Structure 1
Amino acid sequence: MNKGNTPSVETRRPDRAALIIAAVLAVIAGVIFWDVSRLTGLAGYSQVGPTTVPYVIACCLIGLAIWTAAEGIRGDFAEREPQQFGPVIWIVAGLAAQMLLLNILGFSIATGILFALTAGGFGKRRLWLTIPIGIAFSFFVWVIFAKLLQLSLPAGPFERLFF
């Protein structure tokens, strides 16, 4: 109670981050709707065609955008922890390293480095251990996709050593 014996009302301000997320969801849904509108002649004899699933996804995204905006306006989101930029930098560095090294060193080594730097972002900073583990996992994935499923993934010196 405050001095005037009237109950204090906690006023919550709209959550700007939630409103931005809602706007981004709505924009993505709009892009999907626009793209689906260009495919309208492909339905053929059935009502279910190549436009059905993207249309459903766009409708769901609109629903999520409305829900997120309503929660953001009410301010009902839980208090968020402050953003830590160190882990984000580790993960972005891993993605950049993979993109730069993929055609040079091949899938296994480039993705192994991504694995190790992402693990570093989550607190596992022993790169001498996480890089070989990441390369081993990535090589296993490469074998499944490139050799068993016959999909094209960049091969580097490590892959050529075995195949």
Structure 2
Amino acid sequence: MSELSRTQSATSRRPDRAALAVAVFLGGLAGLIFWDSSRLSAMANYSKIGPATVPFVIAWCLLGLAIWTAVAAFRSEFPARERQDIPPVAWIVGGLVLQMLLLRIAGFSIATGLLFAFTAAGFGRRKLWITIPVGIVLCLAVWLIFAGLLQLSLPAGPLEHLFF
């Protein structure tokens, strides 16, 4: 038996750990939805179809996907994944964290404009002095449409208070 075939047979017997982690996450999410929707069904006992029907269907689908993913992980049916490039992911996650931290303080336009700029940096556009103002202007337009025309409530900051 050659070295390559021995390595392939040894790796083919081990389950794909990343796929198993995804299967466990999907199963946990399904369990959480089952638990939460079981509390909803107690609220409305007068009909067979109620507020818990769709969450139950979604939970069953997630459970099915979890089982399917686990089986595929044990069969090693997943294609080889490419190596993850960490800096772009860090830019995007950093933008999300910054948006969550600044949303109430700076308002929707500034916080989401920064998320826009950090996401653009994650995709290779590193000129933040251009992408930050562009993102803020685009997000201000979105805020004006949602808050002004549609009368939806989005967090307002100092920039939004200039308009309303």
TM-score for both structures, normalised by structure 1: 0.88
Q: Secondary structure at the match of 1:38?
A: helix
- TM-superposed CA distance for 1:101, in Å, is 1.8
Alpha-carbon contact 1:25-1:64 (below 8 Å) kept? yes
Shift of 1:72: 0.6
Deviations 1:6-39 (A, max 9, x none): xx58421210000010011001101111111222
User: Secondary structure in 2 aligned to 1:47?
Assistant: coil
- Counterpart for residue 117 of structure 1: 118
Decide whether the 8 Å contact of 1:42 with 1:49 is kept in 2.
Answer: no
Deviation at 1:46, TM superposition (A): 2.6
Count, aligned residues: 158
Q: Select between 40-49 and 74-83 the one with higher mean Cα deviation.
A: 40-49
Residues 129-161 of structure 1: CA deviation (Å, up to 9, x unaligned): 211221122112211222222222221222122
Letter in 1 for 2:50: G
Q: CA deviation at 1:41?
A: 2.6
Deviations 1:39-75 (CA, angstroms, capped at 9, x unpaired): 2233443321000000000000001001111111111
- Where in structure 1 do 4 or more consecutive aligned residues deviate above 6 Å? none
1:155 pairs with 2:117 = no
Q: CA deviation at 1:102?
A: 1.7
Q: Are the counterparts in 1 of residues 108 and 155 from structure 2 also a CA contact under 8 Å? A: yes
- The 1:40/1:102 distance shift into structure 2, 3 A limit, reads closer
Q: Is the 8 A contact 2:41 2:50 kept in 1?
A: no
The alignment status of 1:47 with 2:48, answered yes or no, reads yes
TM-score, scaled to structure 2 = 0.88
Task: Quote the residue 2:65 is aligned against.
Answer: 64
**Alpha carbon RMSD of aligned pairs, Å?**
1.7
Structure 1 residues 39 and 102, CA, compared in 2 at 3 Å: closer, same or farther? Answer: closer
The CA distance in 2 between the partners of 1:40 and 1:156, in whole Å, is 39
**Which ranges of structure 1 fall in alignment gaps of 5 or more residues?**
none
2:135 aligns with 134
> In terms of mean alpha carbon deviation, does 151-160 or 83-92 score higher?
151-160
More helix by share: 2
Letter in 2 for 1:69: A
Distance in 2 between the 1:143 and 1:44 partners? 42
